[in-house]
Amino acid sequence: MTKVKWGIPVGIECNRFINLPKIVQESKSKVLMEIGVCTGYHAKKMILAALETPGKVTYYGFDLFEDITDEMRESEASPPPVSKSVVKEKLRGIGVDINLFKGFTKDTLPKFVKTGIKPDFIFIDGGHSIKTVENDWHYVKQLMHENTIVVFDDYMSAYDELGWGCNPVVDTIKDYNVEIIDLSNSYMMKKANSNERVLTKNRLVKVWN
């Protein structure tokens, strides 16, 4: 498995991800869902924030984990994988109900929708091709209750040059409140299917009813 670094930080690091646990805590979210678990780092941060509010916390994570190939990583602008078992072990013992689903979200999300579970908070940071982000948003909409908060990662200031990110989906969202969160990170980011890099600011986007 080739370890390609998609983004090289530029300047003073201003971590946009500090907003994730903050939103979880302020919204008192207890049922968490994440598309694109990666190492489980953000999952742990969000879970610990949810535990600040009394009551049971449940986490649902979706990823290809170790099944992703180099070719898929290139087309989806994805980081090196971590196995499902390693992530499970990392999150074990926090004291919450952990549920991990391995596979393509075009297959796993339709099945999850049928469970009737409605998460309070959903973080979308899986594959970054337009097709994948559209698929994820299509099913996430069906999982939202009236107070669900959805956060997209990778809203790129240089999307047109990069060729990947959530911009095309976010920019066409209607009938929901949409906030592009101002706090950003700057990167020399790798273009899709190219070794060329482009300077871009990367932001989170919050969506809710």
Tally of domains in the chain: 1
Give the whole-number percent of the chain exceeding pLDDT 70.
Answer: 96
pLDDT at 141: 98
23 domain-assigned: yes
pLDDT surpasses 90 at 144: yes
Residue 187, in any domain of the structure = yes
| pLDDT tens-place string over residues 43-58 | 999 999 999 999 999 9
The first and second tokens of residue 69, run together, are: 């190939």
DSSP 65: G
Contacts of 106 (CB under 8 A, 6+ apart): 135
In DSSP terms, 34 is beta-bridged to 61, 123
Token digits of residue 183: 């706090």
| Position 152 in a domain | yes
What does the DSSP 8-state code read for residue 32?
E
**pLDDT value for 8:** 74
Question: pLDDT-derived band of residue 112, with 50, 70 and 90 as boundaries?
Answer: very high
Cα(128)–Cα(166) distance, integer angstroms: 7
Asked if the model's pLDDT at residue 130 lies above 90, the reply is yes
- Band (192; pLDDT cuts 50, 70, 90): confident
* Ramachandran area for residue 193 (φ above 0: left; ψ -120 to 50: alpha; else beta): left
Q: Would you state the pLDDT for residue 99?
A: 98
- Domain for residue 126, yes or no? yes
Residue-range definition of the domain harbouring residue 96: 7-208
For residue 98, being part of any structural domain is answered with yes
Distance separating alpha carbons of residues 9 and 106, to the nearest angstrom? 31
What pLDDT shows up at residue 2? 43
The answer to whether 57 touches 113, Cβ cutoff 8 Å, is no
Per-residue model confidence as pLDDT tens digits over 162-177: 999 999 999 999 999 9
Asked whether residue 200 is assigned to any structural domain, the reply reads yes
Domain annotation covers residue 1: no
- For residues 159 and 172, the answer to whether their CB atoms sit within 8 Å is no
Average confidence (pLDDT) over 23-35: 98
Query: 2 lies in a domain?
Result: no
pLDDT value of residue 195: 87
The CATH number linked to 194 is 3.40.50.150
- Within 63-158, where are the H helices? 70-76, 84-91, 105-113, 130-143
CA–CA separation, 201 and 199 (whole Å): 7
Q: Select the more confidently predicted residue: 80 or 63.
A: 63
Is residue 73 scored above 60 in pLDDT?
yes
Q: Count other C-beta atoms under 10 Å from residue 189's C-beta.
A: 28
193-204 per-position pLDDT tens digit: 888 999 999 999
Given a cut of 60, whether residue 143 has pLDDT beyond it is yes
